[in-house]
Structure 1
Amino acid sequence: MIAPIFAVCSSSLEVNRLIGGETLRLYPFGMQEDNVVYPYAVWQNVSGEPENYLAQRPDADSFTLQVDAYANTPDEVIEVAAALRDAIEPHAYISRWGSQEIDVKTKRYRYSFDVDWIVPR
């Protein structure tokens, strides 16, 4: 019921270099509410469904995730988004490049993209 985005990204040296440390700053549910350290990224399920069959239980689930990177500078947010992309693409598909903006709430740079992921059960 959850795409393995954290496991995939945490195995990337480049992702760890940029948003790692004692803990990887990649947070689920689209929220980071602890002591904010930039840069960081969040992800959340946007949609999904099981691969249903008439004769058996589903053997895979499909997910669309939204990933948002936040950073202090435009160059830094693009670098984080590119590292996440490079970690994810061997396992799933980037299906949308989203907005690039200054987040109203955080006043930091934000880069958004969507990932389509099929996860065998």
Structure 2
Amino acid sequence: MEYLIWGIKIGIFISIINVWFFRFKKTTPFRGGKANSMPQEFEAYGLPESFLYVIGPLKVGSALALFISIWMPEFTVYPAAIMAVLMLGAIFMHLKIKDPLNKAIPAAIFLILSLILIWDASSSFA
């Protein structure tokens, strides 16, 4: 189970870093609306540009904290909870603008993975 948890943490970390650093200004099939970049996606959701500079660091910081929590598992719950809330928000945004459900698949997967991390961490310290 430990290796699975490590894999989840590494997977979330790599994916979030990829999206926010390498694919920030690129088209992906999962961008909201007809957006071709992260700023356009936030615009499609009707969010102010300032949200981009709040959500991005929260996601990247949470992903980094999850990666670090491989060596410090007692720190898993908080970044996993933040990630779960952010993913709920992402799913809500896709629904809000009536995106096809497949666009919300990555957010739904990361929500489930974050909940698994929370459950695992909570049961480890109970």
TM-score (norm 2): 0.31
TM-score, with normalisation over the residues of structure 1?
Answer: 0.32
Which structure carries more helix by proportion?
Answer: 2
